Structure 1
Amino acid sequence: MSVLLVVVGLVALVLSLALPVVVKPLLRRLGVIDIPNDRSSHSTVVIRGMGLAVAVAILAALILSLVTGLVAVDRSLILVIVVLVAAASTLGWVEDFRGLSVRVRLSAQLVIGAIGTAALATSIDDSSYWWVPVGAVAFATYINATNFMDGINGISGMHGLVVGLFYSWAGVLSDQVWLTVAGLVVAAAFTGFLPWNLGRGFVFLGDVGSYLLGASIAAIAVTGLLAGVYLEYLLSPVLIYLADTFTTFLRRARRGERLSTAHRQHVYQRLTDAGLNHVQVSIFVSILSALTAAAGFVLATAPAPLAVSVSLFAAVVVALYLYSPRIFRAVARRRATAEA
């Protein structure tokens, strides 16, 4: 298994690294570009839609895990994940290429999530169909969370890497090979995207890529939940993204703002306004996500006294992230005052 696992991971990594050579000229010819505005975190016209290459890498590697027999048990779970990822990526590509209304996008996300969760409930023994609406909402929620959070270079690639690795480790701890494979493939594929996103002549994932990221994580999480994986394993790696998304949503709703309009009020965006560059913010978000994930993995099997301490630690990490723009602005002001 270990050799095949490495091979499948390498396939995802190499394809994600190599395919942009072909995909980038195609996107340029199709005019799939991102034009900056006053709410953007970049200042030049950039090719977007490179998530198409990452999607092919993930799907090819997952299918390879079935063909080689790496995933011999619970094969149907990988097949459902493949269909969910392919469907969401296609929806994101249509949004990149033609544009869709908010209502159409959300409806399609919910339908894809509902059908996928129903298929999982059919595949997994003793699963209840009452999970279908929960899975549909979770699927749509995290697709939109990753779409909202995909605003600076490196943040999505690093998120895929961190969450994928922790999900893969959750598979090892849970003795579920499909989860080990799926997590590793996601981590490897998004790692392969990072040099293209951070190097010279960088490109963006686009909606196809952010939908791919959200769908991959949500599909694995919903599948894991129905398969009996600890909720702490599945939820803790995405706490920072969810905290940023929901606090920003509540803040804007409280102000009476139109929620469908573009903005720069996410915590990670305010961190760049506070003086951090894209890579610094992406690393900061990833480190805190890794800390909450580690806390969740301990919490899952911890005795009561330790569980309380670990829960408080995770809460402090989330609070630190939410208040970090104020902290970094205060540090910048003190530094400026000292230099003056």
Structure 2
Amino acid sequence: MLVVLVSFVITFLLSLLLPFVVKPLLVRLGVVDVPNERSSHEKPVLRGLGLAVLIAIVLVEAVFTVLTASTDPDGTAWKYLLIITLGTMCSGFLGLSEDLKGISVPVRSAVLLLIATTTSVAVIWLTRALYSAPTFGWNPLPWVTTVSVWVLVLLGIYGVLFISSYINVANFMDGLNGISGFHGVIAGLTFAAAGYLTPGAGWLIIAGLVLAAGFAGFLPWNLTKPGAFLGDVGSYLLGGAVAITSFTALIAGVPVLATIGPMIIYFGDVGTTLVKRVRAGHKWDEPHKEHAYQRLQQLGMSHVAASGVNAAFTVAASLLGLLSLLVAPVWWILLLVLGIALVVLYQLTPRLLSRKMTA
């Protein structure tokens, strides 16, 4: 536990202090967020401070990967940490490239798919190698009785779509002060709790706490004047770190609901909004302010208050996911239904609050 706490403290301090070095560099490079149709702020604000979070998270994860490998070279813990670290780093660097000079949509999509494919295949191959490779007699998933090569293929496809889409989701949702920072902290603590409750998943505790500490260190910079934004480097980092950690935990045997709990509110907000826009005849990729969190802010809520509502629903969904570690699988359907109900209630919250304010 001492080692785990050290990983949290060091990451937090690095994330909190590195902006003193990174911020002047961003100012010289002119990395500024200018308000547009999607923005919820009115004045230009420095962005790209996610670079400090990226350095803090990747550096600490790399150190603990090496330490874990030196103490247990034949184990899988350091290999899982290595995959998460490299995938997180690549996601952040992709966002950094977008911040500094911009990337065309085809190139960005291709790189996202490459990151998602590489990490998914690496995780599945590593875990499969622990079992009977010739017969694919691998069964870390409690709801699957027999794992065939086709199941591995389906898991790989799921991983590619899951990781690549969530990086975009995290980018879409990064529109209010506090919202991404809160999300990173909640997701990280949820993964750490899942690792604590899952035998043999100590690596997940470290990955989760490092993720939480990295975004906790960013929050003071984001929430105090004059403020600063993560930028694409930070939102891509957030999406990549959360999705890759979630998928790795799933393949390593953590129940699916525990791995996706912190993500369903984000997925629900983006998915529902895109469907509504397509049905209304709008282009899905046009800038807009129709997400539930944006509609909350438009009702007069402060950035922190609207982000707090999103965070509260994310905490509730995360707790439901963690409950799947404590109950029999037969109860997972109930937990899933409750999770979907949370997504629906979250989407209705702006409308319900609007009616209450006008009543």
Question: TM-score when scaled to structure 2?
Answer: 0.89
Greater relative CO, 1 or 2 (CA 8 Å, sep 6+)? 2
Shift of 1:305: 7.8
What is the alpha-carbon distance in structure 2 between the residues aligned to residue 10 and residue 42 of structure 1?
Answer: 32
What is the alpha-carbon distance in structure 2 between the residues aligned to residue 229 and residue 305 of structure 1?
Answer: 16
The DSSP-based 3-state class of the residue aligned with 1:111 is: helix
What is the alpha-carbon distance in structure 1 between the residues aligned to residue 235 and residue 325 of structure 2?
Answer: 29
The DSSP-based 3-state class of the residue aligned with 1:237 is: helix
Measured against aligned partners, the alpha-carbon deviations of 1:55-88 in whole angstroms (never above 9, x if no partner) come to 0010111112123339844211111111111111
Correspondence 1:63 to 2:87: no
Give the aligned partner of residue 255 of structure 1.
280
The DSSP-based 3-state class of the residue aligned with 1:275 is: coil
Correspondence 1:178 to 2:203: yes
Give the aligned partner of residue 187 of structure 2.
163
Give the aligned partner of residue 145 of structure 2.
none
What is the alpha-carbon distance in structure 1 between the residues aligned to residue 169 and residue 202 of structure 2?
Answer: 27
The one-letter amino acid paired with 2:182 is M
The DSSP-based 3-state class of the residue aligned with 2:68 is: coil
* Equivalent pair of 2:255/2:324 in contact (CA under 8 Å): no
Give the aligned partner of residue 204 of structure 1.
229
Shift of 1:141: 0.6
Shift of 1:269: 0.5
Comparing 134-143 with 118-127, greater Cα deviation is found at: 118-127
What is the alpha-carbon distance in structure 2 between the residues aligned to residue 135 and residue 307 of structure 1?
Answer: 21
What is the alpha-carbon distance in structure 2 between the residues aligned to residue 295 and residue 69 of structure 1?
Answer: 31
* Aligned counterpart in structure 1 of residue 90 of structure 2, from 76, 87, 92: 87
Comparing 132-141 with 83-92, greater Cα deviation is found at: 132-141
Map 1:1-340 to 2 at 5 A: 2-69=1-68, 72=72, 73-74=75-76, 75-124=78-127, 125-126=130-131, 129-130=152-153, 131-175=155-199, 176-303=201-328, 307=332, 309-334=334-359
Sequence identity, in percent?
A: 38
Shift of 1:303: 4.5
Measured against aligned partners, the alpha-carbon deviations of 1:115-156 in whole angstroms (never above 9, x if no partner) come to 111122222134665133221111111100000000000000
- Mark the CA change 1:17 to 1:304 in structure 2 (over 3 Å): closer, same or farther: closer
What is the alpha-carbon distance in structure 2 between the residues aligned to residue 55 and residue 36 of structure 1?
Answer: 24
What is the alpha-carbon distance in structure 1 between the residues aligned to residue 38 and residue 331 of structure 2?
Answer: 43
What is the alpha-carbon distance in structure 1 between the residues aligned to residue 37 and residue 79 of structure 2?
Answer: 46
What is the alpha-carbon distance in structure 2 between the residues aligned to residue 161 and residue 89 of structure 1?
Answer: 17
* Equivalent pair of 1:9/1:61 in contact (CA under 8 Å): no
Give the aligned partner of residue 338 of structure 1.
none
Measured against aligned partners, the alpha-carbon deviations of 1:94-129 in whole angstroms (never above 9, x if no partner) come to 111111122221111011110111122222134665
**Alpha carbon RMSD of aligned pairs, Å?**
1.7
- Mark the CA change 1:7 to 1:305 in structure 2 (over 3 Å): closer, same or farther: closer
Shift of 1:37: 2.3
What is the alpha-carbon distance in structure 1 between the residues aligned to residue 63 and residue 25 of structure 2?
Answer: 26
Q: Structure 1: 5+ residue runs without aligned partners?
A: 335-340
- Mark the CA change 1:304 to 1:23 in structure 2 (over 3 Å): closer, same or farther: closer
The DSSP-based 3-state class of the residue aligned with 1:57 is: helix
The one-letter amino acid paired with 2:7 is V
What is the alpha-carbon distance in structure 2 between the residues aligned to residue 201 and residue 60 of structure 1?
Answer: 28
The DSSP-based 3-state class of the residue aligned with 1:69 is: helix
What is the alpha-carbon distance in structure 2 between the residues aligned to residue 12 and residue 166 of structure 1?
Answer: 17
* Equivalent pair of 1:8/1:64 in contact (CA under 8 Å): no
What is the alpha-carbon distance in structure 1 between the residues aligned to residue 170 and residue 264 of structure 2?
Answer: 12
* Equivalent pair of 2:37/2:287 in contact (CA under 8 Å): no
Shift of 1:309: 4.9
The one-letter amino acid paired with 2:261 is S
What is the alpha-carbon distance in structure 2 between the residues aligned to residue 257 and residue 38 of structure 1?
Answer: 14
